[in-house]
């Protein structure tokens, strides 16, 4: 059966149309849901409007028992809401949006659906619904839209028209600096009187009737864009002439070229020297100063400093806009919404996969005429500022979504993101978070949240400097995986003026303010990339698998490119950092499949969610904990939320099914044999054959022999092992010297695990950051590591060092390091045996 969704601005209209339609089938035989109105106001009165979420919910509800869904819409934004609903829905039933008249189409569709018609047939019936009325009135039926647009691929230039079937076509170039914002859109509507005019942004942008201000704004036409304008009717030529004049004249706004916002924001050479720092209390850093911190991701790079943009604060509710200024405020909202939609369109065009879908959905939200119209109404009726009006309107939309719960509630974050973007655009400030720039920059911050660092990929950020954060903080880990040189714990860094060029050395942990040209050239030349040939081998032929640490499919693609031998640690929590609701089994399976399929016939070790402590997941860690590093973290979450582990194992088994990759699973934060045994039992029950645990607690290290009786392999998480052995918070740069895998106590615990692995004949991997340190790699092998897993970028350097030493060298170096009384002496003892090559880092 085909289900039907009727989308209307008015709940009463929707219900009345449905009542009329159901009369045709005596109330039975058809499944129709009405998605109408935009809720009720504070007095309980219905608000006219459409709601994409309600449409998506109706589609999903029908999907449960229908083979297809036809969506009929009344007008204007109902169409946009229906389009957005296609992105928001979770079901995958075929859906068709019908360009049919609402009432007639609904009647015809209901009758066809009740008669058992297929989706095509029901849609065709709805589409032909005006025929009867047109015949009765003896007027030719309007041709379908696609046929009205007669623009050939090679449409003529501005001045000439092409005509076909009574429709004239012209191409016009947007010449005014601000593009088609509210004022030009109004002029276009006015000039189009006397003809049926449509505009389309070329080459493949949306199209809009000239009479609809909001639709024309949503074209997002900017300076330099070309529009195809079609006009039908007796006055078509005159109308096109008027429009041409407007375009050529730049709508009276001039036609000079403007710089883009980012160009405007780029500091001049002078301002780079003198601009004050943005957001700090630290003393201003002078040119020539060298700040010291901890180098946590190698590489040297020089670029101007940019700061993390602060959150957009809630705009003041008490500022009132005078009557005569309200039009300008409304115009600011319209322009900002179009500008944001356009920015998101450009970013979506450059993105792929899930990121593209998300950006497209955000673009549609930014372009939602209801959002703009409601905010504009607040300006006009209550004198709110543009920013405040948009803020309040978004809050109302958020509440509607949050009330729906589930996946729909997750869209709240998207609305907030769009809200912040539009408000930032209105206020002409940077969007919160990592700024978008056209030129390379060094990002400086007090500290970064995992979500901030996750958004760095693909942008122009070339290095990170933070005042806080430790060597194994997730900021450091993500920087390494993105290959961005990073220095953490650089006290005073937030005193560097915006735009000042700094030379960041992620190996020795220095940040040099305003270095000389020769210093920059020298440092960049020294940053050498070492290729990995795809097989970790010691000088004597002993194999040590060199694997990659990944946080999702994009990392996996990088790891494949870097010729990693497999994945030694898939940090699954990185796939869901922002989610407020637990991901479904299907959603998880899709995320895991993205990594598993990248490594056919190779090992992929997947770690179950390590939520908590420095990377809490909103859906898993809902409590404030006094001491989160020692609290409900990693495997311990299953004590309270067994369903999370159950679903994850099911998703992983499903992602592994039918794939040639050797998928293994391991649990983080294990302390006892009982925990390991129970985890192994659950994982095997879910269908995963090889089960391991991470050794991150001293307890697990000391119990390694007993643990090997219940699990197949272990992987040493040296980041946490150091944290828990030395009782030093890994996030605290001040304690970086304690959080050091060279500490003899840590090395001795690793030795205990290595010995147990050799005795049991089982694999001992290392996946903490220590595995990617070329100086330590040989020592780890000597202590019994059978594989090393690291960020892809470290593979070449680690392989290079290992290729120069034998297993016997490694064992001697390990013995010497373990016997040393201090970290420094351990380092020196190992270097003396493994040679200067191993100590080069």
Minimum Å distance from CB 730 to ligand PEP? Answer: 8
User: Among residues 387 and 750, whose Cβ is nearest to Mg ion?
Assistant: 750
Minimum Å distance from CB 713 to ligand PEP? Answer: 15
Q: Is residue 571 at the binding interface for ligand PEP, with CB under 6 A as the rule?
A: yes
Q: Is residue 767 at the binding interface for ligand PEP, with CB under 6 A as the rule?
A: yes
d(CA 191, CA 213): 12
Catalytic residue among 474, 542, 575, 662: 474
Of 672-701, binders to ligand PEP (CB under 6 A) are 696
d(CA 18, CA 53): 20
Of 462-481, binders to ligand PEP (CB under 6 A) are 472
Cβ distance 159 to 173 under 8 Å?
Answer: no
Q: What does 718 interact with, of ligand PEP, Mg ion, none (CB < 5 to 8 A by kind)?
A: ligand PEP
d(CA 78, CA 58): 14
- Give the H or E element holding residue 676: helix 673-685
Joined together, the tokens standing for residue 201 give 């942004």
d(CA 267, CA 3): 57
Interface segment toward Mg ion; rule CB under 5 A; list 75-83, 536-544, 614-622, 710-718: 710-718
Count residues contacting ligand PEP (CB under 6 A)? 11
Binding mask 583-622 for ligand PEP (x = CB under 6 A): ---------------------------x------------
User: Among residues 717 and 796, whose Cβ is nearest to Mg ion?
Assistant: 717
Q: What does 784 interact with, of Mg ion, ligand PEP, none (CB < 5 to 8 A by kind)?
A: none
Minimum Å distance from CB 612 to ligand PEP? Answer: 10
Which listed residue (751, 768, 772, 784) binds ligand PEP by CB under 6 A?
A: 768
Cβ distance 406 to 412 under 8 Å?
Answer: no
Interface segment toward Mg ion; rule CB under 5 A; list 104-112, 466-474, 715-723, 776-784: 715-723
Q: Of the candidates 126, 250, 98, which has an alpha carbon nearest to the alpha carbon of residue 178?
A: 250
Coil/strand/helix, residue 451 = helix
Pairing assessment for the beta strands 31-36 and 2-8 based on DSSP bridges: parallel
Residue whose structure tokens are 């899709």? 590
Q: Is residue 392 at the binding interface for ligand PEP, with CB under 6 A as the rule?
A: no
Q: Of the candidates 815, 778, 814, 810, which has an alpha carbon nearest to the alpha carbon of residue 797?
A: 778
Pairing assessment for the beta strands 441-445 and 461-466 based on DSSP bridges: parallel
Q: Is residue 831 at the binding interface for ligand PEP, with CB under 6 A as the rule?
A: no
User: Among residues 343 and 468, whose Cβ is nearest to ligand PEP?
Assistant: 468
| Omega before 203 within 30 of 0, i.e. cis | yes
Which residues are within 8 A (CB) of 239 and not within 5 positions of it... i.e. 6 or more apart? 191, 192, 193, 194, 195, 197, 231, 233
Q: Is residue 50 at the binding interface for ligand PEP, with CB under 6 A as the rule?
A: no
Interface segment toward Mg ion; rule CB under 5 A; list 9-17, 84-92, 717-725, 828-836: 717-725
Other CB atoms within 10 Å distance of the CB of residue 16: 14
Q: Is residue 717 at the binding interface for Mg ion, with CB under 5 A as the rule?
A: yes
d(CA 69, CA 99): 14
Of 198-237, binders to Mg ion (CB under 5 A) are none
Pairing assessment for the beta strands 603-607 and 441-445 based on DSSP bridges: unpaired
Minimum Å distance from CB 769 to ligand PEP? Answer: 7
Q: How far apart are the first and last CA of the chain?
A: 67
| Residue 575 designated active-site | no
User: Among residues 80 and 611, whose Cβ is nearest to ligand PEP?
Assistant: 611
Minimum Å distance from CB 270 to Mg ion? Answer: 47
Minimum Å distance from CB 749 to Mg ion? Answer: 14
Q: Is residue 555 at the binding interface for ligand PEP, with CB under 6 A as the rule?
A: no
Q: Is residue 720 at the binding interface for Mg ion, with CB under 5 A as the rule?
A: yes
Joined together, the tokens standing for residue 16 give 């009345």
Q: Of the candidates 190, 182, 310, which has an alpha carbon nearest to the alpha carbon of residue 245?
A: 190
d(CA 26, CA 19): 10
Of 667-696, binders to Mg ion (CB under 5 A) are 696
Backbone φ and ψ of 553, nearest 5°: -60, -40
Residue whose structure tokens are 């998101």? 344
Cβ distance 3 to 69 under 8 Å?
Answer: yes
Q: Is residue 175 at the binding interface for ligand PEP, with CB under 6 A as the rule?
A: no
Catalytic residue among 66, 461, 575, 767: 767
Q: How far is CA 561 from CA 355, 565, 701, in A?
A: 21, 11, 34
Minimum Å distance from CB 534 to ligand PEP? Answer: 23
| Residue 810 designated active-site | no
Which listed residue (176, 214, 718, 791) binds ligand PEP by CB under 6 A?
A: 718
Which residues are within 8 A (CB) of 99 and not within 5 positions of it... i.e. 6 or more apart? 127, 144, 145
User: Among residues 475 and 841, whose Cβ is nearest to ligand PEP?
Assistant: 475
User: Among residues 768 and 774, whose Cβ is nearest to ligand PEP?
Assistant: 768
User: Among residues 515 and 552, whose Cβ is nearest to ligand PEP?
Assistant: 552
Minimum Å distance from CB 645 to ligand PEP? Answer: 17
d(CA 582, CA 576): 8
d(CA 252, CA 62): 51
Minimum Å distance from CB 460 to ligand PEP? Answer: 27
Q: What does 365 interact with, of ligand PEP, Mg ion, none (CB < 5 to 8 A by kind)?
A: none
Interface segment toward ligand PEP; rule CB under 6 A; list 85-93, 433-441, 642-650, 718-726: 718-726
Cβ distance 449 to 428 under 8 Å?
Answer: no
Of 698-717, binders to ligand PEP (CB under 6 A) are 717
Q: Of the candidates 232, 501, 544, 206, which has an alpha carbon nearest to the alpha carbon of residue 345?
A: 206
Minimum Å distance from CB 451 to Mg ion? Answer: 19
Minimum Å distance from CB 467 to ligand PEP? Answer: 21
d(CA 474, CA 838): 26
User: Among residues 277 and 717, whose Cβ is nearest to Mg ion?
Assistant: 717
Q: Which residues bind ligand PEP (CB under 6 A)?
A: 472, 569, 571, 610, 696, 717-720, 767-768
Q: Which residues bind Mg ion (CB under 5 A)?
A: 696, 717, 720
Residues carrying an active site annotation: 474, 767
């Amino acid at each position: 059966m085909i289900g039907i969704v009727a989308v209307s601005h008015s709940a009463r209209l929707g219900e009345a149309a449905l009542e009329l339609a159901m009369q045709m089938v005596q109330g039975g035989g058809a499944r129709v849901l009405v998605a109408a109105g935009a809720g009720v106001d504070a007095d309980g009165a219905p608000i006219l409007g459409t709601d994409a979420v309600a449409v998506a919910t109706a589609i999903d509800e029908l999907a449960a028992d229908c083979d297809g869904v036809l969506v009929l819409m009344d007008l204007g934004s109902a169409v946009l809401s229906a389009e957005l609903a296609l992105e928001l829905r979770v079901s995958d039933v075929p859906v068709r949006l019908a360009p049919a008249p609402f009432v007639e189409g609904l009647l015809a569709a209901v009758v066809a659906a009740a008669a058992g018609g297929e989706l095509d047939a029901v849609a065709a019936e709805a589409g032909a619904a005006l025929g009867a009325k047109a015949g009765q009135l003896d007027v030719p039926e309007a041709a379908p839209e696609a046929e009205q647009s007669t623009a050939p691929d090679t449409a003529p230039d501005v001045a000439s028209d092409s005509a076909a079937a009574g429709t004239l076509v012209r191409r016009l170039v947007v010449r005014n600096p601000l593009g088609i914002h509210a004022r030009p859109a109004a002029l276009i509507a006015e000039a189009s009187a006397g003809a049926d005019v449509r505009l389309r942004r070329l080459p493949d942008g949306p199209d809009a009737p000239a009479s609809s201000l909001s639709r024309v704004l949503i074209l997002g036409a900017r300076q330099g864009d070309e529009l195809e304008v079609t006009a039908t009717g007796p006055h078509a030529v005159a109308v096109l002439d008027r429009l041409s004049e407007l375009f050529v004249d730049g709508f009276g706004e001039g036609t000079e070229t403007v710089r883009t916002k980012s160009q405007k924001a780029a500091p001049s050479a002078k301002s780079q020297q003198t601009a004050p720092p943005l957001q700090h209390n630290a003393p201003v850093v002078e040119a020539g100063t060298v700040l010291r911190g901890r180098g946590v991701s190698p590489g040297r790079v020089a670029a101007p400093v940019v700061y993390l943009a602060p959150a957009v604060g809630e705009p003041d509710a008490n500022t009132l806009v005078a009557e005569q200024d309200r039009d300008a405020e409304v115009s600011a909202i319209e322009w900002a919404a179009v500008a944001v939609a356009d920015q998101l369109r450009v970013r979506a065009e450059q993105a792929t996969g899930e990121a593209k879908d998300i950006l497209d959905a955000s673009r549609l939200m930014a372009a939602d005429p209801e959002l703009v119209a409601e905010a504009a109404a607040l300006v006009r009726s209550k004198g709110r500022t543009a920013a405040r009006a948009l803020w309040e309107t978004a809050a109302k939309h958020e509440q509607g979504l949050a009330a729906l719960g589930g996946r729909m509630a997750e869209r709240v974050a998207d609305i907030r993101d769009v809200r912040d973007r539009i408000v930032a655009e209105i206020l002409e400030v940077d969007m919160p978070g990592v700024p978008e720039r056209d030129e390379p920059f060094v990002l400086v911050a007090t500290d970064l949240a995992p979500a901030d660092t996750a958004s760095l990929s693909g942008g122009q950020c070339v290095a990170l400097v933070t005042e806080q954060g430790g060597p194994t903080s997730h900021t450091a880990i993500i920087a390494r995986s993105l290959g961005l040189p990073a220095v953490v714990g650089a006290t005073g860094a937030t005193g560097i003026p915006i735009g000042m060029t700094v030379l960041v050395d992620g190996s020795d942990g220095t940040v040099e303010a305003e270095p000389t040209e020769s210093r920059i050239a020298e440092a960049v030349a020294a940053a050498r990339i070492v290729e990995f040939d795809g097989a970790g081998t010691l000088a004597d032929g002993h194999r040590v698998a060199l694997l990659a640490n990944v946080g999702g499919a994009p990392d996996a693609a990088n790891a494949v490119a870097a010729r990693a031998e497999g994945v030694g640690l898939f940090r699954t929590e990185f796939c869901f950092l922002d989610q407020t609701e637990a991901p479904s089994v299907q959603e998880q399976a899709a995320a895991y499949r993205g990594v598993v399929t990248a490594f056919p016939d190779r090992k992929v070790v997947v770690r179950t969610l390590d939520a908590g402590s420095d990377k809490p997941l909103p859906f898993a860690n809902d409590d404030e904990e006094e001491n989160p590093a020692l609290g409900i973290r990693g495997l311990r979450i299953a004590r309270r939320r067994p369903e999370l582990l159950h679903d994850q194992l099911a998703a992983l088994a499903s992602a592994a099914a039918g794939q040639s990759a050797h998928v293994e699973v391991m649990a983080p934060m294990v302390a006892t044999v009982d925990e390991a045994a129970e985890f192994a039992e659950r994982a095997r029950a879910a269908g995963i054959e090889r089960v391991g645990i991470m050794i991150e607690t001293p307890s697990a290290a000391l119990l390694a022999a007993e643990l090997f009786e219940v699990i197949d392999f272990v992987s040493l998480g040296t980041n946490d092992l150091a944290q828990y052995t030395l009782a030093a918070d890994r996030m605290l740069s001040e304690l970086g010297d304690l959080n050091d895998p060279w500490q003899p106590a840590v090395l001795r615990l690793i030795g205990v695990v290595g010995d147990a692995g050799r005795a049991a004949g089982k694999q001992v991997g290392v996946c903490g950051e220590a595995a990617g340190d070329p100086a330590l790699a040989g020592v780890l092998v000597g202590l019994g590591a059978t594989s090393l897993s690291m960020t892809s970028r470290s593979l070449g350097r680690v392989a290079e060092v290992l290729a120069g030493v034998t297993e016997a060298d490694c064992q001697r170096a390990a013995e010497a390091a373990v016997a040393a009384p201090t970290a420094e002496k351990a380092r020196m003892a190992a270097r003396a045996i493994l040679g200067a090559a191993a100590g080069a880092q």
